[in-house]
Structure 1
Amino acid sequence: MKFGMTLANTGPQVEGGGAIAYAQAAEAAGFESLWTVEHVVVPEGYASPYPYSDDGKMPGKRDDIDIPDPLIWMAFAAAATSEIKLGTGILIVPQRNPVVTAKAIATLDRLSGGRVLLGIGAGWLAEEFDALGASFADRGDVTDDYLAAYQSLWRDEVCSYSGEHVSFDRVYCRPQPVGPVPIVVGGDSKRAARRAGEYGDAFFPVSGDFEEMTALFDHAKRCAERAGRDPEQLDFMTQGPGTPEFIERAAGAGITRLVTYPMSRSKFDDFSRDVITAYADA
């Protein structure tokens, strides 16, 4: 099983020194990947329910937390490391111009030597979409359209794409990535599982309920098969504690990558390094 760490661009890692120390310590300890999070803005007093907590609020329970842009943070961390993979967990696809985003991701992948893992989602915070002038109602369809456009821009020598929400004809988008950028689809719905089967290289639910996740994994495989893709090439990952018990259950459910958060959230210090090392040795 591969091990990654999430919330990489939060807490003490929003500062340059903390980001470098965190990334280098994780790489030295043998972690496979670091995962960032994204919100361009968090509207004060938002009413949209956060889907991964009982009270409907994001971790930290505050609206004014620092969340650096994930791609810029990853570029900063890439320059200070050499092997660890850098993932978005997640990038909110329908909020971003698809051609500009594809260009930025390809550039980062080339500069980092092919270390980008593109975790994606459709978003949940309606008030954020309003602030950005993006459509919340059709975000699922927009996400699928943009993913197909990304793949065309990264793959084709001269790119043409015609979709409902984005289209372009015979354009060059350079540089192209080192290879196909792995697309990791996040979410705990059948729509997300279908998206993973049709477009993704991996599926990333985080509900913590292994029965629910297994059912979604099976659905993703069926959707991959219907799309003419090999369902056995689809990886499965989740988020949770790095305890032996959880790791054993995750492995039994077919999960191939576990993303956790092992460090102190107040500062990066010797204790945090010790915790990272302990997780890597588990």
Structure 2
Amino acid sequence: MKIGVFSTFMSPLATPEMIRDFGRHAEDIGLDSIWMGEHVVLFDKNTFGYPGSKDGRIPVPEGGGLLDVVATFGFLAAATSKLRLGTGVALVPQRNPLYTAKEICTLDWLTNGRIDFGIGVGWNKEEVEACGYGWEDRGARCDEFLEVMQRLWTEPVVDFAGKWVTFEACRLDPKPIQKPHVPIIVGGYAEPALRRAVRFGAGWYGFNRDPAGTKDMIRRLDEAFAKAGRERRKDFQIIITPPATMPVDAMQEYAGLGVDRLVLNLGSQRPERIRERMAEMERLVKSAA
């Protein structure tokens, strides 16, 4: 079982020096990957609360905000040589699919194939609408956008006629280093998300899942594969971020469930807390080796 870290870098704590040193330290202690969440803008009032906190709000420092994933991964890629970099998750239905395809394959090209494209439909209604898209149809739009990206990554010339995207004789280069394309890791717990994982996914990502919840989701995922007349391949990755409160010494339980990659939540980005958390992760890397 490989060990990674989830850290949505936020200003003002996430300075260039902090991010560079963090990436190098993560690589030095043997972590497999760094994963980042994505929100381009935040709102004082939301229709639905953030599912990752008790009060429904993203814990952003006063006067701060979330750094852009693509730009930050470009910066981290230059500071590291082995770490994989994963979006956890990119909000596909509020992104332009051609720009997204270009950004992700360029990152893959520049990192020599170190990118994992974790995707989801998002929970923030206001953010989706502010980006110029509808809320209710975001699932169907996500599927169409993923199809567009897959084809642009794998075909030399693409014609496409969909509900949201239409073009003829379109070329996107360079192609990703990874083949057949950048791995798509699907996040989400509803039935449409599981069907999306079966259709597009090289893996499934569960955030804030304890062992019992992970076991149940793997069962449901296998049922989704069976409904599609397929079996889950051995190389289909199960990636989990455990609850932040879960003791590190209890995390070997995930290996017994068949989890391939465990992505621990960094939590606070204050220097003293980073030192403590990285020491915990280093012990887990050694015990999982």
1:227-255 per-position Cα deviation (integer Å, ceiling 9, x unaligned): 5665123211111246232222x122221
Question: Secondary structure at the residue paired with 1:27?
Answer: helix
Q: Is the CA contact (8 Å cut-off) linking 1:94 and 1:122 kept in structure 2?
A: yes
Amino acid at match of 1:127: E
Q: Is the CA contact (8 Å cut-off) linking 2:88 and 2:119 kept in structure 1?
A: yes
Query: 1:48 Cα shift?
Result: 1.6
Q: For 1:166-245, list aligned pairs within 5 A.
A: 166-179=165-178, 180-227=181-228, 230-232=231-233, 233-240=235-242, 241=246, 243-245=248-250
Query: 1:15 Cα shift?
Result: 1.4
TM-score, structure 2 as length reference: 0.88
Q: Match of 1:258?
A: 262
The structure-2 alpha-carbon separation of the partners of 1:116 and 1:213, relative to structure 1 and needing over 3 Å to count, comes to: same
1:133-182 per-position Cα deviation (integer Å, ceiling 9, x unaligned): 22111111111111111110101111222322223222110111002211
The structure-2 alpha-carbon separation of the partners of 1:187 and 1:63, relative to structure 1 and needing over 3 Å to count, comes to: farther
The match for 1:280 among 268, 281, 285 is 285
Matching of residue 267 in structure 1 with residue 271 in structure 2: yes
Q: Is the CA contact (8 Å cut-off) linking 2:14 and 2:269 kept in structure 1?
A: no
Question: Secondary structure at the residue paired with 1:231?
Answer: coil
1:164-202 per-position Cα deviation (integer Å, ceiling 9, x unaligned): 222322211011100221111112222212211111111
Distance, in Å, in 2 between the alignment partners of 1:155 and 1:63 is 43
Query: 1:112 Cα shift?
Result: 0.5
Distance, in Å, in 2 between the alignment partners of 1:169 and 1:199 is 23
Question: Secondary structure at the residue paired with 1:17?
Answer: helix
Distance, in Å, in 2 between the alignment partners of 1:264 and 1:212 is 24
Query: 1:226 Cα shift?
Result: 4.9
Q: Which sections of structure 1, spanning at least 5 residues, go unmatched?
A: none
Matching of residue 246 in structure 1 with residue 233 in structure 2: no
Question: Secondary structure at the residue paired with 2:9?
Answer: coil
Q: Which sections of structure 2, spanning at least 5 residues, go unmatched?
A: none
Question: Secondary structure at the residue paired with 1:83?
Answer: coil
User: Alpha carbon RMSD of aligned pairs, Å?
Assistant: 2.4
Amino acid at match of 2:282: T
Q: Is the CA contact (8 Å cut-off) linking 2:8 and 2:66 kept in structure 1?
A: no
Q: Match of 2:133?
A: 134
The structure-2 alpha-carbon separation of the partners of 1:8 and 1:27, relative to structure 1 and needing over 3 Å to count, comes to: farther
Query: 1:116 Cα shift?
Result: 0.4
Q: For 1:56-95, list aligned pairs within 5 A.
A: 56-60=56-60, 65-95=64-94
Q: Match of 2:151?
A: 152
62-71 vs 198-207, greater mean Cα deviation:
62-71
Query: 1:213 Cα shift?
Result: 3.2
Q: Is the CA contact (8 Å cut-off) linking 1:222 and 1:231 kept in structure 2?
A: no
Q: Which runs of 4+ in 1 moved over 4 A?
A: 225-230, 268-273
Distance, in Å, in 1 between the alignment partners of 2:108 and 2:13 is 21
Q: Is the CA contact (8 Å cut-off) linking 1:35 and 1:86 kept in structure 2?
A: yes
Matching of residue 3 in structure 1 with residue 3 in structure 2: yes
TM-score, structure 1 as length reference: 0.90
Amino acid at match of 1:133: G
Give the percent of matched residue pairs that are identical in Structure 1 and Structure 2: 33
Question: Secondary structure at the residue paired with 1:79?
Answer: helix
Q: Match of 1:35?
A: 35
Amino acid at match of 1:173: L
Distance, in Å, in 2 between the alignment partners of 1:270 and 1:212 is 29
Query: 1:4 Cα shift?
Result: 0.7
68-77 vs 258-267, greater mean Cα deviation:
258-267
